[in-house]
């Protein structure tokens, strides 16, 4: 299984399952068509570093996936955001900085916690009362993985991705308990400060705008 395809599978699952039911419009491309387009978009990206700094690197394929993820989510929720490629790269960097800081402060996620989280996600998409679009997405994720469904949910790449999700959740709770943030905007500002502190050390590919 190619690394890029796994990334597509993991991140779309994260985007859709965590944000909840989608407001899918009838005039949008089919779920199958969107998955094929995302896969092609990521596969065609060269596997090179497009930004780097202290303790992190951003690869073009990761960027292509993140961008495709945002576009997928926007289509599913009938919204459109105005952002440059550099804005998207900065969002990837912010996530990396948050994860690194969480680990430096001693936070971790156990295998049991990851397993419980994945079980909850599976329960969400298996719920007969859920939007059928969610099930279409789940079916495409499993199909693209080339694995039986049980193996898909237990795969190493899936568990690593959701470990990061849970680590960020724990870090947000820690910040709230310490009185450093109270709202979503507070956390967004916190991330802005993180990237501002390393901005001078970030090297961007000259073609990034």
| Fold topology of 3-204 | Triger factor/SurA peptide-binding fold (1.10.4030)
What pLDDT does 21 receive? 44
pLDDT of 172 reads 96
Report the distance separating Cα 154 and Cα 140, nearest Å: 17
Task: List the beta strands (DSSP E) in 32-172.
Answer: 49-53, 56-59
Gap between the Cα atoms of 204 and 194, Å rounded: 17
pLDDT, tens digit only, all 209 positions of the chain? 344 444 444 445 555 544 444 444 555 568 888 888 877 877 788 889 999 998 999 999 889 888 887 887 787 777 788 889 999 999 999 999 999 999 999 999 999 999 999 898 888 777 766 667 777 878 877 877 788 988 988 888 888 889 999 999 999 999 999 999 999 999 999 999 999 999 999 999 866 66
Q: What pLDDT, on the 0 to 100 scale, is given for residue 72?
A: 79
* Per-residue pLDDT at 30: 80
Provide the b/e sequence for 82-107 (b: ≥16 CB within 10 Å): eeeeeebbbbbbbebbbbeebeeeeb
Domain layout of the chain by residue ranges: 3-204
Cα 116 → chain centroid: 19
Per-residue pLDDT tens over the stretch 83-141: 899 999 999 999 999 999 999 999 999 999 999 998 988 887 777 666 677 778 788 77
- What is the chain's mean pLDDT, rounded? 82
Look at the block and give the residue holding tokens 């709202």: 183
**Residue 75 confidence (pLDDT):** 78
């Amino acid at each position: 299984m190619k690394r890029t395809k796994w990334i597509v599978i993991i991140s779309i699952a994260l985007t859709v399952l965590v944000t909840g039911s989608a407001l899918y419009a009838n005039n949008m491309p089919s779920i199958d068509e969107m998955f094929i387009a995302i896969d092609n978009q990521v596969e065609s990206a060269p596997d090179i570093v497009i930004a780097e700094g202290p303790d992190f690197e951003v690869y073009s394929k990761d960027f292509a996936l993140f961008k495709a993820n945002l576009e997928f989510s926007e289509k599913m929720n009938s919204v459109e955001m105005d952002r440059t490629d550099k804005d998207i790269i900065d969002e990837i960097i912010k996530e990396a900085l948050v994860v690194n800081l969480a680990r430096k402060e001693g936070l971790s996620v156990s295998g049991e916690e990851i397993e419980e989280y994945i079980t909850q996600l599976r329960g969400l998409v298996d719920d007969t009362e859920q939007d059928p679009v969610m099930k279409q997405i789940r079916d495409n994720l499993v199909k693209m993985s080339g694995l039986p469904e049980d193996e898909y949910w237990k795969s190493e790449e899936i568990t690593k991705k959701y470990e990061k999700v849970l680590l960020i959740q724990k870090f947000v709770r820690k910040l709230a308990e310490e009185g450093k943030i109270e709202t979503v905007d507070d956390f967004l500002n916190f991330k802005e400060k993180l990237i501002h502190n390393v901005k001078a050390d970030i090297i961007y590919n000259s073609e990034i705008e």
